[in-house]
Amino acid sequence: MLTDSTTTNGHTDSYAKTEIIKEIDGNSSAINEKEDKEWTPLSWRTKPIRQGVVYDDQEHLQRVLNKLQHLPPMVTPSEIHRLRSQLRQVALNKAFLLQGGDCAELFEYCSQEPIESKLKVLLQMSLVLVWGSRIPVVRIARMAGQYAKPRSSPTEKVEGKEIISFRGDNINGFDPSDRKPDPERLLRAYFHSAATLNYVRSIIGSGFADLYRLSDWSLHHVRSNRTRQEYQTIVDRLTDSLDFMRMIGADSPSSPLNSVDLFMSHEGLLLDYEQCLTRLLPDPETGEKKWYNVGSHFLWIGDRTRQLDEAHVEYFRGIQNPIGIKVGPSLESNELQKLLDIINPNKEIGKVTLITRYGADQVEKYLPGHIQAVKASGHIVVWACDPMHGNTRQSSSGVKTRHFNSIIEELSKVIRIHKNNDKCIGGSMQLADADLALNYKTFCDPRLNYEQSLDVAFLIAKYHEKERSGPSL
């Protein structure tokens, strides 16, 4: 559970307004400020931590962590470096980043139909984006590990009773009777992640993403005739081009038309878990041993855990994986510059992705200053827009949701602001409150439905298509 005070070296500040836990186990040693700040997977334990989890049975937790430390990697350094190479191209405005998936996965999503459905949405969105922008799309899925969720409060009220908040399937259960944090859920998270990733690899390797099989990517969820027709027009034109390539022998079994790269991502929230999956492995390019998180290709630091001198930043500064940082209104420009210097001291291009989340009514106030601060710092980052998390409201029935118009408004403003600052950045249905029971699919924050996701892709693709064509005469 979350604590509601600041704990440092055993002394509690009862006036603190943040939820921070200071944890140091027997494997960690205190680090004097004057001593060398050499990084290890354990060094985060010397720092205060937000969104931490307290387990009643520490011996049980340690047995689980010992087990996790000996389980095999889910991803490899070669895959991680391939993603870093592709994100470098995004940072240099030579590719486009598309990241999508669940706000919070559930273990029950580890099943054939949910996995295939998410992949189809990502593939269809990326196809639309490639067609409109004529640049490669880097695809990252929020899946195979996105089980934890930060919460603004350690407790919530359910049927008038205050209970521990639901923190995600790898911590506790959604059922009110199952809110006690359970270490065994960390193991279940690993095995559900591994099973999900294994199936993704299998179907991608078996031609699921083959452009010669576009007709298999069903549109049965899309009710708008306009969206169906727009997508079908792209498919028809692309199919004609592929038929021509096949006729002249320009295709081959090893062609990139037959498959795609698809990378996995999740928020690196539970550092006990992430520490266990951090391994010292050879760099595939130099052979030098470096620290990699082998539980996912890409991890990000949340808006609630990016404090400069605390545990999450300390952990993230030491791993070779590409890293995302959520950027919102509460992040000062000078703090952003310091954060980039800590996470990416060598200023490697594309190592860091800044995921902005302001809200449609605040993006114009904060984004220009953040862009200028990054330019002044000398860092070359990937800019990504998360138009979901800053536009949350409650419907009349109490369901947390977002108006599609607000999402499109923020996205449109972000594109315009980046263009004005010489930077590039990687629906047909507006839901009424009465529709939410049908479309509300997540146990935490609401997400775009299938049709709205395609509408967003069309919006961005048409913008890039217009930019390619130049102003009309």
Quote the CA–CA distance of 26 and 31 in Å, as a whole number. 14
389 assigned binding-site residue: yes
Q: What are 35-86's pLDDT values in tens digits? A: 346 999 999 999 999 999 999 999 999 999 999 999 999 999 999 999 999 9
Mean local confidence (pLDDT), 238-248: 72
Higher pLDDT, 206 or 366: 366
H or E stretch covering 438: helix 436-439
Sign of the alpha-carbon torsion through 358, 360, 361, 365 = positive
* Local confidence band at 224 (pLDDT 50, 70, 90 cut-offs): confident
Q: What string of DSSP letters covers 226-252?
A: HHHHHHHHHHHHHHHHHHHHHHTT---
Coil/strand/helix, residue 22: strand
221 assigned binding-site residue: no
Quote the CA–CA distance of 254 and 241 in Å, as a whole number. 18
pLDDT score recorded for residue 394: 66
pLDDT score recorded for residue 336: 98
Lowest mean per-residue pLDDT among 209-213, 233-237, 275-279, 363-367: 209-213
Mean local confidence (pLDDT), 324-347: 98
The pair of structure tokens assigned to 465 is 């298509």
pLDDT score recorded for residue 378: 97
CATH of domain 44-152+162-209+259-465: 3.20.20.70
445 assigned binding-site residue: yes
Given a contact cutoff of 8 angstroms between Cβ atoms, the answer to whether 318 and 39 are in contact is: yes
Q: What are 152-163's pLDDT values in tens digits? A: 899 999 999 999
Higher pLDDT, 385 or 394: 385
Residue ranges of the domains in the chain? 44-152+162-209+259-465
246 assigned binding-site residue: no
357 assigned binding-site residue: yes
Based on its alpha-carbon atoms, the radius of gyration of the chain, rounded to whole angstroms, reads: 22
Task: Point out which residues pair with 327 in neighbouring strands.
Answer: 356
